[in-house]
Structure 1
Amino acid sequence: MKVYLGKDRTRASQDVTATHATVRDLCRRIEGVGHKLYMDNFFSSLDLFDELMTKNITCCGTVRPNRKGLPDDFRRRQFRLKKGDIRVRVRQNLTALVWKDKRDVYMLTNMHSPPAEGSFCDEHGNAIKPAIVANYNKHMGYVDKADTMANIYSICGRTWKWTNKLFFHLLDLTILNSYILLSSCGAKLSHREFRLALVRNMLEHAGRAPPRPQRPRGRTPAVSSGSFRIEESKQEHWSTSSTSKLRCRVCSTPGKRRTVRIKCVKCDVGLCISGCFQDFHTKPTFR
């Protein structure tokens, strides 16, 4: 697969369109095996079909009538068809046809024999579907059905980030592919039942997981390298105002003289409230 990120001018050349180059690159690993490739009109072109045919890859798909190389009556839409009419143009092994049902359907193929021209309706007047159209609907229907099944229970919601949408889309496809593989083994289970069983199994597995350690809430407390004398003695050392002036025990140690009106209730010594109170109770120098 390749993620489409808009018009890719770097991959296109003068003779090859970007869609042509994309399909060619995606088919490199299946060259020469004999695969059959179905595509819609966004990718199909005569040049692409011819190139893949040389690599033993046959193609079938709807085509836009204005594609380069198609007959002029196709490109100009000159047909005035009634319901059930078929017009066919053949070039070597490549067949282009237009079939009228509710609207004109343009097809291009090199894996089918060209059908007969004419008007084909049943007894009720309904257009009979050509084998090429029926075969295309059958195989492209797998893609349409897969998209429908994946979107019914889509995990992805509306999001501004395309990467989130891509991730959940791939997860949806993974679950769908798992269901298809299980059904191919004979399991009688609906898509809805499969998804419910998947959710139950995931919840059961998550319930057996060991409990995660609970992260502490709030601000992490500051850790000091020294042991606090307050914690060691488990005494109540609180600051309070003094009725008389006291010399700060910490400031006076180096020979300074500083008077304060704050003291420790337990130690009964004068201390500056900014810094000195903590230093006196935590540093062994002042013990």
Structure 2
Amino acid sequence: MAESSTGYITNFQVYTGREGTGEKGLAHRVVMDLATPYYGSHLSIFMDNFYSGVELFEEMKGHGLDACGTVRANRKGLPKDKMLTKQAALDKHKHKFRVAQKNDLTFCVWQDTKVVMVLSNYHDPTEKGSVRRRRQGGTQTAVVVPACLSDYQKYMKGVDLLDQMIGYYQFQHRSKKWWRRLFFFFLAAGCYNAYVAARCAGGNTFKYKSGYKDWLEDLAQELVTPVTARSAHQCSSGPVGATSEHDCEKIFEKRKVCRECALSRSGTDVCARATVYGCRQCNEALHVECFGKHVRRHHLH
């Protein structure tokens, strides 16, 4: 479960198989388990057609939860009216829709490129919204639709955003052990959650305007700096730590090209990477892992 605008994970569950004998279905149980902390809050929860169902939405309404999502045509409890079937929608003009209501449930059938069916337990069936659709020639126009459908399109993106951001910078550690995949996923998810929290807390003063990548690189640098630059055991064959003549610290606000990377990659097609760390005494940008080379080079001189 993720917040819709940021992708921040608010709750999760690892599937470990069927639980108990009274389970109403995997989708039903998972939604109710994840939503349990929010009972009575009237939080709006959006989901795709794998989870949506009449029985689920009625139960969520009873627990003080608002729910909306696309729904499959074969779900139990949907209207049997011929004018509200998937085939009837196919016979209509594009972007036409029909709406039905039963108690607190609102059901909508809308003809887009394909038929879209939406179920909600809190939307007013007479309320309208709009969505953007592309017409011939590439122009976009606003199309009037029921409010439940426009809200679904607007808010059903939190989990997709999370998967997108984690997918950009995955930890590429192959292993035959199943738990490692979970471990690195949760590590990546924790990093992204921390970024969202820092961005929200920082407001206009948040310095990582360029995005998640720079923040993630600096987070990695902060995590390894005490080990490589301060606490590493010094020996002739190992990495060189801080000395009385050189200290590796975060000294730049803007990222600068690492001096040692630039020297080692000079004359090649490989670009040197930037960092905010460096040697305070020499005022040179250096990656933490390049700091030992810098110290040794100066000792040789």
Q: TM-score, normalised by structure 1?
A: 0.64
The residue that corresponds to 2:195 in the other structure is: 179
The residue that corresponds to 1:60 in the other structure is: 68
2:122 is the counterpart of 1:106: no
Note closer, same or farther for the CA distance 1:100–1:75 as it changes in structure 2 (3 Å cut). closer
Given residue 143 of structure 2, which amino acid in structure 1 is its aligned partner?
A: I
CA contact (8 A) 2:42 2:64 kept: yes
1:42 to 47, 50, 59: 50
1:91 to 96, 102, 106: 102
C-alpha distance in 1 between matches for 2:44 and 2:116: 21
C-alpha distance in 1 between matches for 2:235 and 2:94: 71
CA contact (8 A) 2:86 2:115 kept: no
Higher-Rg member (1/2):
1
| RMSD (Å) for aligned C-alpha atoms | 2.9
Cα shift readout 1:99-135 (whole Å, capped 9, x = no counterpart): 1222111111122111479xx9989575715232221
The residue that corresponds to 1:24 in the other structure is: 32
The residue that corresponds to 2:218 in the other structure is: 197
1:153 to 139, 163, 169: 169
Identity of aligned residues (%): 30
Given residue 209 of structure 1, which amino acid in structure 2 is its aligned partner?
A: S
How far residue 33 of structure 1 moved from its aligned partner, in angstroms, is: 2.3
C-alpha distance in 2 between matches for 1:78 and 1:149: 40
1:69 to 52, 69, 77: 77
Which structure is richer in relative contact order (CA contacts within 8 A, separation 6 or more)?
2
Q: Secondary structure at the match of 2:45?
A: strand
Given residue 15 of structure 2, which amino acid in structure 1 is its aligned partner?
A: Y
How far residue 174 of structure 1 moved from its aligned partner, in angstroms, is: 0.5
Counterparts of 1:161-240 in structure 2 under 5 Å? 161-184=177-200, 185-186=202-203, 187-189=206-208, 190-207=211-228, 208-211=230-233
2:16 to 5, 17, 24: 5
CA contact (8 A) 2:166 2:192 kept: yes
Q: TM-score, normalised by structure 2?
A: 0.61
Note closer, same or farther for the CA distance 1:206–1:97 as it changes in structure 2 (3 Å cut). same
Q: Secondary structure at the match of 1:102?
A: coil
Q: Secondary structure at the match of 2:93?
A: coil
2:143 to 128, 131, 135: 128
Note closer, same or farther for the CA distance 1:116–1:149 as it changes in structure 2 (3 Å cut). same
> Aligned residues, how many?
209
List alignment gaps of at least 5 residues for structure 2.
1-11, 237-301
Q: Secondary structure at the match of 2:143?
A: coil
The residue that corresponds to 2:270 in the other structure is: none
List alignment gaps of at least 5 residues for structure 1.
215-287
Cα shift readout 1:227-275 (whole Å, capped 9, x = no counterpart): xxxxxxxxxxxxxxxxxxxxxxxxxxxxxxxxxxxxxxxxxxxxxxxxx
Note closer, same or farther for the CA distance 1:5–1:156 as it changes in structure 2 (3 Å cut). farther
Given residue 181 of structure 1, which amino acid in structure 2 is its aligned partner?
A: A
Note closer, same or farther for the CA distance 1:173–1:107 as it changes in structure 2 (3 Å cut). same
C-alpha distance in 1 between matches for 2:182 and 2:75: 31
Q: Is the deviation greater in 108-117 or in 190-199?
A: 108-117
CA contact (8 A) 1:9 1:18 kept: no
